[in-house]
Amino acid sequence: MSSLRIAQLANFVGPTSGGMRTAIEHLGQGYVEAGAERIVITPGERDVAIDTEFGTVVRTKALKIAGGYRLITDPWKVIETLERFRPTSVEISDKSTLLPVARWARKNDIGSVLFSHERLDAMLSLYTARPRRLGGEGAQYRQGVIAGVGALYKILSRTYDAVVVTSRYAAAEFDEVTTPLVRIPLGVDLDTFHPSLAEPVDDGVLKLVHAGRLSREKSPHLAVATAAELHRRGVDLRMDVYGSGPHLDELVAIAGDAPVVFHGYVDGRRRLATHLAAADIALSVCPGETFGLAVLEALAAGTPVVTANTGGARELVDESCGRWASANPVALADAVLELAKLPGRRAAARRRAELYDWDSCIRHMLALHTRLGQGRLAA
């Protein structure tokens, strides 16, 4: 394994890309612990390179765009860094401006894998919300998004040696006949997120929790609207929302007089895990989520989850620890009330999370990198 030299590249990095950062960090640490050399390249405010115990971290000066994201627009700087590192394979979490890097890898007989962290059609629709606003014109817009994304994915599938997806929902965006798809679910930190950290107080109040960026593509509006619907029905509840983002004012308006408390950003995964464990039910209802690390973190903390009936998050829960419904507040409120009556749901949630460990994910990714880098490893 020591001859593996893995380069991880991420682009379009910003405040809503926590799941992607978590995955890259856990995978990178696993690669190094297995004996591989590793470099990770991401956009940043300025050019900087730092040697760490888990490989070299390179920040490439990148353009700041809407929503606090940064985007590398000069892939040639990335290629210069890679030429010095001489990887056996590259793992790219980007579907936009880093395509020339994948082409460079192919030209130089270096294995390349696209790590597909999001579905572009779902993300664009959720971010703009135009289909809901524009009626018939929204349907035309959706068709335009699908057509444009489809054309891009044909290019991607011809360029990369493999495409990693984390769920069946994520795989559905690709043509499985022509694309070299590999489905590898992510993992969850089962030590940090644990039911022993807290337990809901049995005082007759239904305690709900939502954790995530308060940005439209994460659907916090739907989670808060679900709590408001339950309040309208006379349910004695409290909902705690952890996270920051640009749509806080909208969410406060949606909550109205419902007992929804917005706590802002939580500093520290352990603190977040404690808050999750203290809830009766977690709401993670984004219908376009490709995987759902927030779902796994809640389950690992022993908290059952209500989610939408579409998206990758739906694949993480079963009837023992969760419920799912159409992405509207009325249906999701019904699901919450049904789940609240389910016996043994906390123990079942933890058992479900234990099916998704980082060691398994890392092992499968290392096998893929070994296969992709065989030509270089033999040279």
CA distance 214 to 66: 15
The distance from CA 140 to its chain's CA centroid, rounded to whole angstroms, is 28
Whether the per-residue pLDDT at 15 is higher than 70: the answer is no
Residue-range definition of the domain harbouring residue 263 = 195-353
Q: Say if residue 294 is in the same domain as residue 369.
A: no
Residue 135, pLDDT > 70, answer no
Please indicate, yes or no, whether residues 238 and 348 belong to a single structural domain of this protein.
yes
Residues 340 and 203 in one domain: yes
Question: How far is it, in rounded angstroms, from Cα 326 to Cα 309?
Answer: 6
Q: Do 150 and 230 have their domain in common?
A: no
- In the chain, the percentage of residues whose pLDDT exceeds 70 is 87
**Same-domain check for residues 98 and 157:** yes
Both 36 and 49 in one domain: the answer is: yes
Q: How confident is the model at residue 133 (pLDDT cuts 50, 70, 90)?
A: very low
For residue 150, pLDDT beyond 70: no
For the beta carbon of residue 219, count every other beta carbon within 10 angstroms.
23
User: Does 170 share its domain with 261?
Assistant: no
Q: Which residues contact 306 (CB under 8 A, 6 or more apart)?
A: 226, 281, 282, 283, 284, 285, 322, 323, 324, 325, 332, 335, 336, 339
CATH number at residue 119: 3.40.50.2000
Close Cβ partners of 351 (under 8 Å, ≥ 6 residues apart): 320, 321
Q: In terms of domains, do 34 and 180 share one?
A: yes
Better pLDDT: 64 or 271: 271
DSSP character for 187? -
Q: Are residues 72 and 218 in the same domain?
A: no
Question: Do residues 179 and 208 share a domain?
Answer: no
The answer on pLDDT for 295 being more than 50 is yes
Query: pLDDT higher for 117 or 122?
Result: 117
The per-residue pLDDT for 153 is 73
172 and 279 share one domain: no
Angle between helices 120-128 and 136-159 in degrees, nearest 10: 150
Helix (H, G, I), strand (E, B) or coil at 194: coil
- Going by C-alpha positions, the residue among 2, 34, 10 that lies closest to residue 363 is 34
The CA-based dihedral angle spanning residues 127, 132, 136, 137, taken in that order and rounded to the nearest 10 degrees: -30
Does residue 222 surpass a pLDDT of 60? yes
Which stretches of the chain are DSSP H helices? 18-33, 75-85, 99-107, 120-128, 130-134, 136-159, 168-171, 220-232, 248-255, 269-277, 293-300, 329-340, 345-353, 358-372, 374-378
163 and 15 inside one domain: yes
Structural domains in the chain (count): 2
Mean confidence (pLDDT) of the chain: 89
- Across 126-144, average pLDDT: 50
pLDDT of residue 68: 67
